[in-house]
Amino acid sequence: MEKSLFKQYVDKWFKPIVSKVVEKINGKEAELTYMWRSMLKKVYSPTLKWSSLSSNNTHIAADVVSMNSSLPLKKRDSLRKAEGDIPKIGMKLALDERTMTDLDILERTNQNNDRTNEIIKKLFGDTKKCTVGVLEQLEFMFLQALSTGVTVIEDKDKNTGIGIRIDFGHPKENKFGAEKPWSDNDSAKVVSDIERIMDRASEKGHTPRYLLMDRGTFKNLRKNPEVKELFAASMGFAGQNIPTPTLSQVNDVMSDNYNLEIVIIDRSVAFEKNGKRTSVKPWAKNVVVFLDSMDVGDLSWGTLAEENHPVSQVSYQKADDFILLSKYHKNDPLQEFTSSQALAVPVIHNVDSIYMLDSEEAETEEQTEGDSVFNYEGTDYTKSSVVAAINLANEDLKAKATNADSTLQTKINKLSEAEIEVFEENIEEPA
């Protein structure tokens, strides 16, 4: 590593630009919002060992996994126990030779300082990206953990594609299915499902106050006859054509009847791998999370080794207490780098008071046909292979051996053409 090729600008502008980025992110000008900021409190951990993450009777299990493994993982033999420090999160961006040539030209023609702003914009454009990249990763991890009880951190210090899987130990007895899928507006029992979980929570001394769900789940909720009838009663409405309530109207009804507030999670996080960008929603589809408080845990962070042992030729700045930003250059090829790194992880506490409802998974459904064969397009296949093939083609469908044949057929009907090919390649005829 060598000093930045534009050190005079870095010395003068790096710190104020980092401060401005943090100010905008934390202020009203922010383009992106972060739920972990409002729902977690930052807690410094001097060692940031896995063992240091247990607090408030929270038990955390950590495993090393492949990054493309499903959550929860299907193959237990792909796990091994992880010990030691939390792996780093961060990113690195580089200005190529063409951009640096442009900067050289701007600098040579900047006698009157009329091009300084353009130079700063080009030179420090990656500063915001690297800062926001860490914050976005934390938001993904937090929302994934809150909606599933599990998250994965990519291990930057090990082989590409390896990560740390963290299971926050959400109790199985706090996870429920729906009486009928909420997408079935004619038969779903949305209010009854909510009341059932509220009653179960009350039996354990817990009082949920918030329901967190994705937008699609809320659409199913607001169109449900039970919800509309509750809304009509609150409005003194008489008649058959009950209007569909808005979020604020639903929340008024829920507050009056159950002291509940619905919070919609509609957040995407963009990732880039091998030059290809994809947008992923970290909140699990169809999952409703019941919380008694919007204060759910900590953001545990620690000091990076490089902060204690800085490289003499690298320029450093800190963002938001825990993000270490650096600027430097290398040759062969000549590139000017901006990088960010952090030791930080969201930690969910008091999981015993958190309840989860899968609004599309029927809880008590049993197989009605009573055999181990499923007929698909005129051919009999083993039901176990059909269930496995559905989940292999689309794990979000969560097929079970206890599902009725009609339910399995409905799940098959939801598969795309590409997923149908995977499904058909993996179903087996009885021996």
What mean pLDDT is predicted for residues 170-184? 88
With beta carbons less than 8 A apart as the criterion, state whether 401 and 367 touch. Answer: yes
Model confidence pLDDT, tens digit, residues 197-226: 999 999 999 999 999 999 999 999 999 999
Q: Which CATH class is domain 7-170+299-349?
A: alpha beta
Can you give the pLDDT at residue 158? 45
- pLDDT of 160 higher than 60: no
pLDDT averaged over every residue in the chain: 83
Average pLDDT (289-305) is 92
Report the percentage of the chain scoring pLDDT > 70: 84
Selection from 42-56, 86-100, 347-361 with the highest mean pLDDT? 347-361
Quick one: pLDDT at residue 332?
79
Given this model, what pLDDT does residue 166 score? 81
CA quadruple 213, 219, 220, 224: dihedral positive or negative?
A: positive
**Looking at the predicted structure, is the pLDDT value of residue 344 above 70?**
yes
Q: Where does the pLDDT of residue 152 fall: very low under 50, low under 70, confident under 90, or very high at 90 and above?
A: confident
Closest of 351, 356, 295 to residue 170, by C-alpha: 351
Q: Is the pLDDT of residue 156 over 90?
A: no
Cα–Cα distance between 221 and 240 in angstroms, integer? Answer: 18
- Please report the pLDDT score of residue 262 as a whole number: 98
On the question of pLDDT at 190 being above 50, the answer is: yes
pLDDT higher than 90, residue 295: yes
Instruction: Read off the pLDDT of each residue in 335-355 and give the average, rounded to a whole number.
Output: 90
Q: What is the pLDDT of residue 86?
A: 64
CA-to-CA dists, residue 262 to 32, 251, 259, 410, 416, angstroms? 21, 6, 10, 29, 32
Please tell me the predicted confidence (pLDDT) of residue 414: 78
pLDDT at 73 over 50: no
Run of H or E including 37: helix 35-39
pLDDT value at residue 155: 56
pLDDT at 72 over 80: no
Domain ranges of the chain: 7-170+299-349, 365-426
pLDDT for 28 beyond 70: no
Cβ distance 249 to 232 under 8 Å? no
Confidence of residue 55 (pLDDT cuts 50, 70, 90): very low
Answer yes or no: is pLDDT of 129 > 60. yes
Q: What is the pLDDT of residues 87-124, one digit of tens each?
A: 578 888 898 888 888 988 998 888 888 888 899 999 99
Q: Which comes out higher in pLDDT, residue 422 or 157?
A: 422
DSSP letters of 125-174? HHHHHHHHHHHHHHHHHHHHHHHHSEEEEE-TTS-TTEEEEEE----GGG
| 162 phi/psi in degrees, rounded to 5 | -105, 140
User: Looking at residues 23-47, what average pLDDT do you find?
Assistant: 80
pLDDT in tens, 363-388: 544 444 456 888 988 889 999 899 99
Please tell me the pTM assigned to this model: 0.76
Q: How confident is the model at residue 56 (pLDDT cuts 50, 70, 90)?
A: very low
Q: What share of the chain is helix, strand, coil (3-state, %, to 5)?
A: 40, 25, 35
Confidence of residue 228 (pLDDT cuts 50, 70, 90): very high
Instruction: Please provide residue 96's backbone torsions phi and psi, each rounded to the nearest 5 degrees.
Output: -85, 180
Q: Report the candidate in 15, 14, 23, 29 with the shortest Cα–Cα distance to residue 120.
A: 14
